[in-house]
């Protein structure tokens, strides 16, 4: 599957130059060629969305609204679900947090990415301890939900579970379907953070039976600044608009007492005030189509081969410890974090770049509680190059993450393994 960003030549400190190996897909993946082509073909015809009578405005409005249908199909949404376009996963989850019904109780594992962990702070939040197996995750959630329904005052209150589909640290898959069943059995709803799942796996809202899904375009090979929140419309439509402004309102009128009355839309537009990012949205739809046409069976098989290459290579290096919550056999996507005994992870990542032209990430990956649990340390600020070197035998202070996906050439992961060795 062709992707852009493949053939950038970078200088090496050791002399010469090499083709850059982008192995940081989990942060932002390169654009698919198809996405780039579609965006380039459309860009000269850019026009305002929902705000013009002219031909190009109509064209842009059609592309924008058709993109909603494409995303709904990509996610296998239920009839009646809404697809709201946002800036990112972070934005989507903050939107949902702003739309929670009064007295909603939120359940979230401490292992979540900060985008899933933090938006709920204005609600009543129950932080769940890190589980060490998928079954323990389900059991922990079930117990927490059962405690809630056992306490009379909360029986009828709304509740929401927020869970990631694939960890941005370990790449491990979470038992989303089982967690959704547990949530629903206790009258709670569930939102899936699919930022790391959707680029690597098919996501079916109906099959997983989740109430909402959030993901980001820039991790799904569509780096033009848009994201998605898709799912049940009721909470979204009963909530105040996420942003107040044009496009979200159907009718605005002065009142006789001098104030202003607003009649807000009850469609996705309610939460999409302002001129939307049609290029970002169109690029997401383009990526959804490209991934579907390539076929997830093919994509997953290829990626799993690369996962096996990296894991086997790392296993041969005695000083390397791969970070894992659920153990070696847990199914995972192409996201692998590790530490190297005696090495500062930031220096290690910098050396991969300077000496081998390989781009990975170092730090705590916006999942501080999880990485600290996995490292067993009170770690420093993420990505801080001045962090002290860990002494041999002492726990590392942060970690290195390699991640890849559609279009990653074999040579890039092979070079990575060679470089680590
Ligand atoms: N959730 C997960 C699991 C992620 O990996 C990320 C990005 N690293 C986010 C949420 C946030 O995504 P964004 O920065 O695009 O809002």
The ipTM value here is 0.99
CA dihedral in degrees (150, 152, 155, 158; nearest 10)?
Answer: -110
Ligand 1 nearest atom to the CA of residue 216, by list position: 15
Last residue of a domain, one of 293, 318, 353: 293
In a domain, 310, yes or no: yes
- Residues 320, 300, single domain; the answer is yes
CA–centroid distance, residue 90 to ligand 1 (Å):
6
pLDDT tens digits for range 70-84: 999 999 999 999 999
Query: 6: buried, middle or exposed (CB in 10 Å: 19+, 13-18, 0-12)?
Result: middle
Residue 148: predicted pLDDT: 85
pLDDT tens digits for range 29-42: 999 999 999 999 99
CA–centroid distance, residue 250 to ligand 1 (Å):
32
* Alpha helix segments (H runs only) across 295-388: 296-315, 345-356, 368-375
Locate 153 and state its tokens.
């005052």
In a domain, 89, yes or no: yes
Among 24, 25, 90, the mutation site with the greatest number of ligand 1 atoms within 8 A of its Cβ is 90
Q: Using 50, 70 and 90 to split pLDDT, how confident is the model at 121?
A: confident
- Residues 204, 303, single domain; the answer is no
The whole-angstrom separation of Cα 65 and Cα 54 is 17
Ligand 1 nearest atom to the CA of residue 165, by list position: 3
Distances (CA, A) of 204 to 75, 197, 263, 302, 350: 5, 11, 33, 21, 38
Measured by CA distance, the residue closest to atom 5 of ligand 1 is 168
CA–centroid distance, residue 115 to ligand 1 (Å):
6
- Residues 193, 312, single domain; the answer is no
Q: What is the mean pLDDT of the chain?
A: 93
Average pLDDT value for residue range 135-157: 84
- Residues 119, 207, single domain; the answer is yes
| Global pTM exceeds 0.90 | yes
Residue 149: predicted pLDDT: 78
In a domain, 262, yes or no: yes
Helix and strand totals (H; E) in the chain: 13, 17
In a domain, 28, yes or no: no
Listed in sequence order, the residues at least 6 apart from 309 whose beta carbon sits closer than 8 Å to its beta carbon are 410, 413, 414, 417
- Rounded to 10 deg, the angle between the 410-420 and 296-315 helix axes is 20
- Residues 211, 335, single domain; the answer is no
Last residue of a domain, one of 293, 328, 362: 293
- Residues 199, 229, single domain; the answer is yes
The residues that bridge with 11 in the sheet, in sequence order, are 17
The yes-or-no verdict on residue 163 having pLDDT over 50 is yes
DSSP string spanning 86-138?
A: ESSHHHHHHHHHHTPPTT-EEEEETTS-HHHHSTTTTSEEEEEPPPSSHHHHH
196 in ligand 1 pocket by Cβ < 6 Å? yes
193 in ligand 1 pocket by Cβ < 6 Å? yes
The yes-or-no verdict on residue 53 having pLDDT over 60 is yes
168 in ligand 1 pocket by Cβ < 6 Å? yes
Ligand 1 nearest atom to the CA of residue 92, by list position: 16
Average pLDDT value for residue range 303-325: 97
- Residues 19, 86, single domain; the answer is no
Listed in sequence order, the residues at least 6 apart from 295 whose beta carbon sits closer than 8 Å to its beta carbon are none
Residue 216: predicted pLDDT: 98
- Residues 399, 373, single domain; the answer is yes
Instruction: Give the CATH number for residue 337.
Output: 3.90.1150.10
Instruction: Note down the domain range covering 118.
Output: 34-293
164 in ligand 1 pocket by Cβ < 6 Å? yes
Q: Residue 141's closest CA among 105, 98, 91? A: 105
In a domain, 1, yes or no: no
172 in ligand 1 pocket by Cβ < 6 Å? no
In a domain, 3, yes or no: no
CB 309 within 8 A of CB 413: yes
Instruction: Supply the residues annotated as catalytic.
Output: 366
CA–centroid distance, residue 219 to ligand 1 (Å):
8
115 in ligand 1 pocket by Cβ < 6 Å? yes
Helix or strand or coil: residue 172?
A: strand
Among 195, 333, 367, the mutation site with the greatest number of ligand 1 atoms within 8 A of its Cβ is 195
Last residue of a domain, one of 265, 293, 321: 293
pLDDT tens digits for range 343-400: 999 999 999 999 999 999 999 999 999 999 999 865 555 444 445 556 655 667 799 9
Q: Which residue's entry shows tokens 């932002």?
A: 28
Helix or strand or coil: residue 164?
A: strand
In a domain, 13, yes or no: yes
CB 395 within 8 A of CB 377: yes
Measured by CA distance, the residue closest to atom 8 of ligand 1 is 27
Query: 300: buried, middle or exposed (CB in 10 Å: 19+, 13-18, 0-12)?
Result: middle
- Residues 338, 266, single domain; the answer is no
pLDDT tens digits for range 207-252: 999 999 999 999 999 999 999 999 999 999 999 999 999 999 999 9
88 in ligand 1 pocket by Cβ < 6 Å? yes
Instruction: Give the CATH number for residue 189.
Output: 3.40.640.10
DSSP string spanning 202-235?
A: ---HHHHT-SEEEEEGGGTT--SS-EEEEE-SHH
In a domain, 29, yes or no: no
Average pLDDT value for residue range 12-17: 94
195 in ligand 1 pocket by Cβ < 6 Å? yes
90 in ligand 1 pocket by Cβ < 6 Å? yes
Report the number of distinct structural domains present in the chain: 2
- Residues 210, 313, single domain; the answer is no
The residues that bridge with 161 in the sheet, in sequence order, are 107, 190
- Residues 220, 285, single domain; the answer is yes
Locate 349 and state its tokens.
């990542």
pLDDT tens digits for range 178-214: 999 999 999 999 999 999 999 999 999 999 999 999 9
- Residues 246, 159, single domain; the answer is yes
CB 271 within 8 A of CB 91: no
């Amino acid at each position: 599957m062709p992707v852009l960003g493949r053939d950038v030549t970078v200088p090496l400190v050791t002399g010469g130059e090499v083709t850059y190996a982008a192995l940081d897909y989990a942060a932002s993946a390169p654009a698919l060629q198809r996405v780039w082509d579609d965006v380039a073909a459309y860009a000269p015809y850019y026009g305002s969305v929902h705000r013009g009578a002219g031909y190009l405005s109509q064209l842009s409005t059609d592309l924008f609204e058709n993109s909603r249908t494409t995303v709904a199909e990509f996610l296998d949404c239920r009839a009646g679900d809404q697809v709201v376009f946002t800036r990112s996963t972070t934005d989507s989850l903050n939107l949902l947090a702003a739309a929670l019904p009064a007295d909603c109780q939120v359940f979230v594992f401490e292992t979540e990415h900060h985008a899933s962990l933090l938006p709920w702070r204005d609600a009543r939040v129950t932080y769940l301890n890190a589980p060490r197996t998928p079954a323990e995750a389900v059991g922990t959630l079930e117990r927490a939900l059962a405690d809630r329904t056992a306490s009379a005052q909360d029986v009828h209150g709304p509740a929401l579970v927020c869970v990631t589909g694939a960890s941005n640290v370990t790449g491990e898959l979470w038992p989303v379907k089982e967690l959704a069943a547990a949530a629903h059995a206790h009258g709670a709803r569930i939102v899936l953070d699919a930022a790391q799942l959707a680029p690597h796996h098919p996501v079916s809202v109906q099959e997983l039976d989740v109430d909402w899904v959030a993901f980001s375009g820039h991790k799904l090979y569509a780096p033009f600044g848009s994201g998605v929140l898709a799912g049940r419309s009721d909470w979204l439509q009963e909530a105040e608009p996420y942003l107040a402004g044009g496009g979200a309102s159907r009718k605005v009128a002065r009142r006789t007492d001098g104030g202003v009355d607003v009649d807000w839309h009850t469609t996705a537009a309610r939460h999409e005030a302002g001129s939307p990012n049609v290029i970002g949205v169109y690029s997401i739809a383009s990526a959804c189509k490209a991934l579907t046409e390539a076929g997830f069976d093919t994509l997953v098989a290829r990626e799993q081969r690369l996962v096996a290459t990296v894991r086997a290579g790392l296993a041969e290096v005695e000083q390397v410890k791969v970070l894992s919550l659920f153990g070696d056999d847990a199914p995972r996507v192409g996201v692998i974090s590790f530490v190297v005994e005696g090495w500062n992870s930031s220096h290690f990542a910098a050396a991969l770049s300077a000496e081998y032209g390989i781009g990975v990430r170092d730090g705590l990956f916006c999942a501080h509680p999880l990485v600290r649990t996995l490292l067993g340390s009170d770690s420093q600020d993420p990505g801080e190059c001045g962090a002290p070197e860990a002494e041999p035998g002492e726990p590392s202070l942060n970690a290195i993450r390699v991640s890849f996906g559609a279009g990653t050439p074999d040579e890039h992961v092979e070079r990575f393994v060679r470089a680590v060795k």
